[in-house]
Amino acid sequence: MILNRDKIKNKVDTFFFNNNLSEGEFITFLRITTGVFLIIQLSFVVFDFQLLYGKYGVIPYDIQDFIAPQKALTFSNLVTFFEQFQIEEYVTIRIFLIMFYSCSISLIIGLFSRFSSLILLFLYIAISSGPYKYGVDVFVTMGLFYLTVFPLCLKYSVDKFIFKCRRLPNYTPYLRLLQINLCLVYFFGGISKSIGSTWYNGEAIWKSLNLIGTLPLDYSILASNKFILVFMGWSVIILEIFYVIAIWREKIGLYWFISILLMHLGISIFLGLYFFGIYMIILNISGFYFSNIKAKLL
Amino acid sequence: MQSRKKIIILFFIFFHLSIICIINLKHFLQDYNDLFNEDDEKLNITLILEKLTSSNFYDLYTTYSGTNSSYGFYAPNVGSEFTHSYTIINSELEILDAYTSPEFLQRESNFRFNLCTLPIQDMLLDSLSISNSYVKVMEHQISEHLIKKHKEAKCVIARIYLCQYPKTEEYIIGKRRVFNEVVQYNFCDFESR
């Protein structure tokens, strides 16, 4: 096969810079849903904020900071900084919460969206880099980073009245970045699971359903019919590994998309990982619904 | 769109996705090595990837772009879960109170708090790992927080339990998950006492 340089260049150009692919609705959707998500997520811990994240909370700041990445600006760093100006921790907490909620609302209504997402990125990392981090924090950080670097989409936003766009930006490369990122998420997730034997014999699914915090249902039917667990384990691996191919296909793309959404819905309901499941659904809809799936449904 | 702008955007996309691939490949190879490599020696490529990921710039970029973690959740196998209990006793060794966690007002706070048990798995796999010291200090600090509520309390017995799930055959006959104690700390030295 002779590699035609011009052909490759055209393909890359079309894939990443096709102007007709997106009008930026995915950014608007991601912006609004992320803002709502953050408000709800913070509200679920707000009454215990000082206990969890405070400098002198249940786990003090030096222990929390030990596990945080070196370059992360943690909440305890903020408290220490303001203590230099005689500002007590409870004041810092109140300022933090007001800023977090305000920026989330700004994100929802699209007021100085990029600035709001940048502030939220720093605030979110401040509380999520310590010992309480789990999967959802990785993806919310990713979402906020993308909202910061992606161009503004002025649909359904107050920014429309503030910023005058001479020409609409080309949203396609940013959509492709989000889409490829999602493909990598599932590909590496699936490949990593594929080297674990418990995903093939159903034990991984069974163990997941028996963890603390899962929905306390009677799983006797599953225990008595182990083939269901085996089927579920194989399904997860196949869904994830082949997402990178299937999601782009004309015919099976829609079914793969729905299957992934159902998988995350199942994770939310049965494993008690509500926030993780919901945010993954948000990312999938942002990445593929508006550009690939919507046309198939209509 | 101008060519120069296209090149810059493509470069950023390629750079960002490369970072994602590097961190995921590194973790995948580490997991593969842990599972299948009996010699316990790291593969050469793992060493190269570790070198690539050790710079300050990498640390900063990955922290703020959400790319500092791999996507191998519940992989290669579902990890074990741990929980803890804290028994407050007085000088006569009478039990004053017992907790499984600090008294949070919200359920999600409890869930977040339980995530602090994640390093315990590393600790159990390698008794010399730094996770050992980290867990002990963390448990001590939590105990100190809890003992503050009891003026006459002298010591806290902090226990960590491994959540042992039942096999399918055991579940059918009525067995449910049990908690097996894996480590116990007796803390009597507190700054506040």
pLDDT tens profile B113-144:
888 877 777 777 666 666 778 888 889 989 99
User: Which of B 132-151 lie inside 8 A of A, CB atoms?
Assistant: 134, 137-138, 141-142, 145
A190-204, A277-291, B112-126: least confident range: B112-126
Interface check A69 vs B, CB under 8 A: yes
Token digits of residue A171: 């949203």
Who contacts A268 (Cβ-Cβ below 8 Å, separation ≥6)?
A: A274, A276, A277, A278
Nearest to A131 by CA among A53, A246, A50: A53
Place of tokens 């741990």: B82
pTM over 0.90: yes
Q: Which residues of A272-282 are buried (b: 16+ CB within 10 A; e: fewer)?
A: bbbbbbbbbbb
- For residue B88, give Cα distances in angstroms to A80, A216, B187: 31, 30, 10
What pLDDT was estimated at residue B32? 87
Interface check B14 vs A, CB under 8 A: no
Interface check A172 vs B, CB under 8 A: no
Q: Omega before A216 cis (within 30°)? A: no
What pLDDT was estimated at residue A156? 86
Place of tokens 């009008």: A23
Average pLDDT over residues A136-141: 96
Q: Which residues of A212-229 are buried (b: 16+ CB within 10 A; e: fewer)?
A: eeeeeeebeebbeebeeb
What pLDDT was estimated at residue B33? 85
Q: How confident is the model at residue B56 (pLDDT cuts 50, 70, 90)?
A: confident
- Report chain A's terminal Cα–Cα distance, integer Å: 39
Q: How confident is the model at residue B34 (pLDDT cuts 50, 70, 90)?
A: confident
Which residues from B are below 8 Å from A223, CB to CB? 168-169, 171-172
Token digits of residue A222: 């599953």
User: Which of A 113-142 lie inside 8 A of B, CB atoms?
Assistant: 121-122, 125, 129, 131-135, 138-142
Mean pLDDT computed over every residue of chain B: 86
A6-10, A90-94, A271-275: least confident range: A6-10
How many angstroms separate the CA of residue B193 from the nearest CA in chain A? 17
CA B9 to chain centre: 36
Residue B158 pairs in a beta bridge with: B86, B185
Does the structure's ipTM exceed the value 0.90?
yes
Interface check B179 vs A, CB under 8 A: no
